[in-house]
């Protein structure tokens, strides 16, 4: 059955009640979307939409320096990880002009933890020829307040990168309730 979301008002209403944002909808698990009445063809379309929104945000962020474009960085972070049902830790690898070289998921985790290995983050930075890093991860709970584990892990990444003169410009924690910046909170060593 190929659902016409525009014509099925009851389904759209149920989806709006369950998923408070478009981001939460497009990043929902396939099984959950199917439980709400979507067939596989429609789920595939939704997942392609998620990929498209991430691609557009990445394209916008990479057109200009990431550091001087705070609003595009936050928008990109929110689109990339803000609505994922599990924690994901991403690293933005930047060139000398703070332009995005690449963005990679360094860890996929559970609802409250994503294991990050500082040596792997730094190894990849060296491979990419990165001159700086921005760390991003989400809190599926919605609260962007960094945990003590987040703070400790960030310190380890900063210290490992410092050995190779690669600064960590910021670590953003994204939740439905907002975005927290380690730099703005004075949490970067």
* Distance from C-alpha of 149 to C-alpha of 155, rounded to nearest angstrom: 10
3-state helix, strand, coil in the chain (%, to 5): 45, 20, 40
In this model, does residue 183 exceed pLDDT 70?
Answer: yes
In this structure, the strands spanning 178-181 and 168-175 are antiparallel
Q: Which helix (H) or strand (E) holds 79?
A: helix 70-81
* Distance from C-alpha of 94 to C-alpha of 19, rounded to nearest angstrom: 33
Q: What is the pLDDT of residue 131?
A: 97
Q: Tell me: the pLDDT tens digits for 134-162?
A: 999 999 999 999 999 999 999 999 999 99
In this structure, the strands spanning 132-138 and 178-181 are unpaired
Q: Tell me: the pLDDT tens digits for 53-68?
A: 777 776 766 665 555 6
Give residue 8's pLDDT band: very low, low, confident or very high (50, 70, 90).
low
Show the beta-strand stretches assigned E in the chain: 88-94, 100-108, 132-138, 168-175, 178-181
Helices (H), the chain: 9-18, 22-26, 30-35, 40-62, 70-81, 118-128, 148-162
- Chain centroid to Cα 87, Å, comes to 9
Q: What is the pLDDT of residue 61?
A: 61
Residue 25: count of CB within 10 angstroms of its CB: 19
For the whole model, what pTM was predicted?
0.69
Residue 130: count of CB within 10 angstroms of its CB: 23
Hey, which residues does 173 pair with through a beta bridge?
A: 137, 180
In this structure, the strands spanning 100-108 and 132-138 are unpaired
In this model, does residue 19 exceed pLDDT 90?
Answer: no
Give residue 88's pLDDT band: very low, low, confident or very high (50, 70, 90).
very high
Cβ burial of 133 (10 Å; 0-12, 13-18, 19+) is: buried
Q: Tell me: the pLDDT tens digits for 97-123?
A: 888 899 999 998 888 889 999 999 999
- Does residue 132 or residue 20 have the better pLDDT? 132
């Amino acid at each position: 059955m190929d659902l016409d979301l525009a014509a099925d008002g009851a389904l759209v209403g149920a989806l709006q009640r369950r998923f408070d944002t478009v981001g939460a909808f497009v990043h929902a698990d396939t099984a959950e979307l199917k439980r709400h009445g979507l067939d596989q063809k429609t789920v595939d379309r939704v997942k392609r939409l998620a990929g498209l929104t991430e691609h557009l945000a990445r394209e916008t962020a990479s057109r200009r320096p990431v550091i001087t474009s705070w609003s595009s960085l936050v928008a990109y972070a929110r689109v990339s990880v803000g609505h994922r049902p599990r924690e994901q830790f991403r690293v933005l690898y930047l060139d000398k002009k703070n332009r995005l070289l690449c963005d990679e998921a360094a860890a996929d985790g559970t609802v409250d933890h994503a294991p990050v290995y500082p040596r792997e983050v730094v190894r990849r930075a060296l491979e990419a020829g990165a001159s700086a890093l921005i760390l991003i991860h989400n809190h599926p709970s919605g609260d962007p307040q960094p945990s003590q584990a987040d703070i400790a892990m960030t310190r380890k990444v900063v210290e490992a990168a410092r050995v190779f003169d690669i600064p960590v410009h910021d670590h953003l924690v994204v939740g439905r309730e907002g975005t927290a910046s380690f730099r703005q909170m004075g949490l970067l060593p």
